[in-house]
Structure 1
């Protein structure tokens, strides 16, 4: 099985699909507070919000609409979690947004429940042919409470996955945490996901740039330091140097097999590879079985690093992955 979709990147200037940001984070992380702060900023004038409440009463959506007076741009999904029970409702809501855009809605934020798996949501978008034509998930933002995330990581699986899948992580409530708690939180978050751009916020919200500020491809963080092993209970990361150039057919087969066998455990792949016959390096980006590969300019690739891939997942067969990628070396 080979899955290759362009559902994991920021849309190009010519891409007319609706950019979607998934805003996730465990219970009590401060997602709605961060969202509220952003929605009161001028940058949010063309932003629509989909709010998903797990309980029977939509508290977050009602409060957000009342505070900001933007009810027409706040859409509440029916009771349930968008990563499972109301996946179809999410798809229909996004399709409705794309149909009525008319230039007034430039992007959408989906605020998930604290128990949601953002990977399942992204897969739902990636596997829906209608949505692939009209919407693109361009960023996953995870909010973590500096004073709570350590205990939550010890006790629950959900925050580990939410951190592992993130492109950007907002460490909220930094002013409520001790210096030791802040340092420990940043250390554990970075160990789980060395790819993510991490921002720190205080109680009451975050700079609008924390949600939508530019962070490029994030490749400047993929350095030799990511080659070390990082452990955080079940979720861990490791980096593989691929060098280059790689045999294109063998690399395709290796990645297809990896995705087929380990899609559920594979939270994230990101890196740069050099393929025999290609003039430019390729950016590889994947979440579960949603996988994309696209050429990037030589100047955008880390210099002097060769090719490398960073894997984040649960119980991935690291030795086998290293051996399989090593077998891709050489020209066809």
Structure 2
């Protein structure tokens, strides 16, 4: 496989933070708060509609096409049609000097939107991949709606399952026991995500942008999944950790994963892993969403002596036996938060 030069280019590409969340979950409050922070001044923000996001009080002047400059110095663009076109247009305008230079991109999804297509676009589009890299997926979760929101809205479940960081909002007006019940439900949906409570959108921007949560390339950061071992089901969502102590045969692994993608791609909500592949000196990092996978990245070296392969899978309506069947490793364990 060899070392992938894309790992060296990662630092050169602009990080993209995807902010998703169901209607009324506090996403707009969070975005408004972020855009007013001085450290976010060199950001470009992609939103659905100016009216929907309620940024009117921040707007200053139009500068190019759909782009406007905010009082904080942020560049803000409303999507008119295709997100890929909006991103490419923004990059072209930057290169031509038609808009101010920016060092990061934030994308806000509609409250009813499935974030998977946006994640897939950022993972697998070669035109965008030259300039952008998916850095973090953040989901806001309405603390007042409780676990019942996941029973009622499939989109809310998927948004939580695809995120790296889950922000439970409005916790200042919710009893502590109800907040804990909601956090427990979130851990059942996405055991690997960081969960925080947020009031009035107050959070350090560094925790959400430029954090490198999605495209982690340090294998040592994956090892905490060893603490996850009990099987959990929440609204059809299951999380598995597959483990292999011995080096994996790449062709056997690739064949197994391709078979799963072909048969159950729409149910593979999230796949992340660090693999010890036979004849590779360093670890191989993979991640994907449903049918779409980022090209595997072969890193130069392992961080320490532990070379165990670990693959985390968050799936919908798939049983353990189906996932494990054909796994070329020696063991599989269920996943739960430690």
Same fold? TM cut 0.5: yes
- Provide, for residues 201-242 of structure 1, a one-character-per-residue CA deviation record: whole Å limited to 9, x for no partner: 1124322233126366352441232x3212111222122222
Provide closer, same or farther for how the CA distance between residues 192 and 10 of structure 1 changes in structure 2, counting only shifts above 3 A: farther
Corresponding residue of 1:24? 20
User: Residue 302 of structure 2: which of 278, 293, 298 is its match?
Assistant: 298
- Provide, for residues 124-151 of structure 1, a one-character-per-residue CA deviation record: whole Å limited to 9, x for no partner: 3445442233322222111112222422
Whole-angstrom CA distance in 2 between matches of 1:229 and 1:305 = 24
**Paired residue secondary structure (1:299):** coil
Whole-angstrom CA distance in 1 between matches of 2:226 and 2:71 = 45
Q: Quick check: 1:61–1:75 contact (8 Å CA) kept in 2?
A: no
Corresponding residue of 1:243? 245
1:307, distance to aligned residue in structure 2 (A): 1.8
Q: Quick check: 1:176–1:203 contact (8 Å CA) kept in 2?
A: no
Corresponding residue of 1:173? 170
* Match status 1:189 vs 2:189: no
**Paired residue secondary structure (1:212):** coil
Whole-angstrom CA distance in 2 between matches of 1:288 and 1:175 = 36
Corresponding residue of 1:43? 39
User: Residue 154 of structure 1: which of 131, 151, 154 is its match?
Assistant: 151
Provide closer, same or farther for how the CA distance between residues 214 and 108 of structure 1 changes in structure 2, counting only shifts above 3 A: closer
Whole-angstrom CA distance in 1 between matches of 2:31 and 2:132 = 21
Whole-angstrom CA distance in 2 between matches of 1:164 and 1:129 = 25
1:6, distance to aligned residue in structure 2 (A): 11
Whole-angstrom CA distance in 2 between matches of 1:287 and 1:173 = 29
- Provide, for residues 35-67 of structure 1, a one-character-per-residue CA deviation record: whole Å limited to 9, x for no partner: 1111111220110111114xxx82315436349
* Match status 1:223 vs 2:214: no
Whole-angstrom CA distance in 2 between matches of 1:97 and 1:223 = 42
Provide closer, same or farther for how the CA distance between residues 237 and 290 of structure 1 changes in structure 2, counting only shifts above 3 A: same
Provide closer, same or farther for how the CA distance between residues 319 and 37 of structure 1 changes in structure 2, counting only shifts above 3 A: same
Provide the aligned C-alpha RMSD in A. Answer: 2.8
* Match status 1:110 vs 2:107: yes
Corresponding residue of 1:270? 272
Provide closer, same or farther for how the CA distance between residues 181 and 215 of structure 1 changes in structure 2, counting only shifts above 3 A: farther
1:281, distance to aligned residue in structure 2 (A): 2.0
- Count of aligned positions: 307
Following superposition of structure 1 onto structure 2, how do residues 123-162 of structure 1 map, counting pairs within 5 Å?
Answer: 123-162=120-159
Corresponding residue of 1:163? 160
* Match status 1:260 vs 2:258: no
Whole-angstrom CA distance in 1 between matches of 2:42 and 2:293 = 29
Q: Quick check: 2:245–2:329 contact (8 Å CA) kept in 1?
A: no
1:26, distance to aligned residue in structure 2 (A): 0.7
**Paired residue secondary structure (1:324):** coil
Whole-angstrom CA distance in 2 between matches of 1:241 and 1:170 = 29
List gaps (5 residues or longer) in structure 1: 79-85
**Paired residue secondary structure (2:101):** coil
Farther-moved stretch of structure 1 (264-273 vs 97-106): 97-106
Whole-angstrom CA distance in 1 between matches of 2:256 and 2:176 = 44
Q: Quick check: 1:25–1:143 contact (8 Å CA) kept in 2?
A: yes
**TM-score, normalised by the number of residues in structure 2:** 0.81
Q: Quick check: 2:244–2:329 contact (8 Å CA) kept in 1?
A: no
Whole-angstrom CA distance in 1 between matches of 2:94 and 2:134 = 17
**TM-score, normalised by the number of residues in structure 1:** 0.83
1:170, distance to aligned residue in structure 2 (A): 1.5
Provide closer, same or farther for how the CA distance between residues 246 and 42 of structure 1 changes in structure 2, counting only shifts above 3 A: same
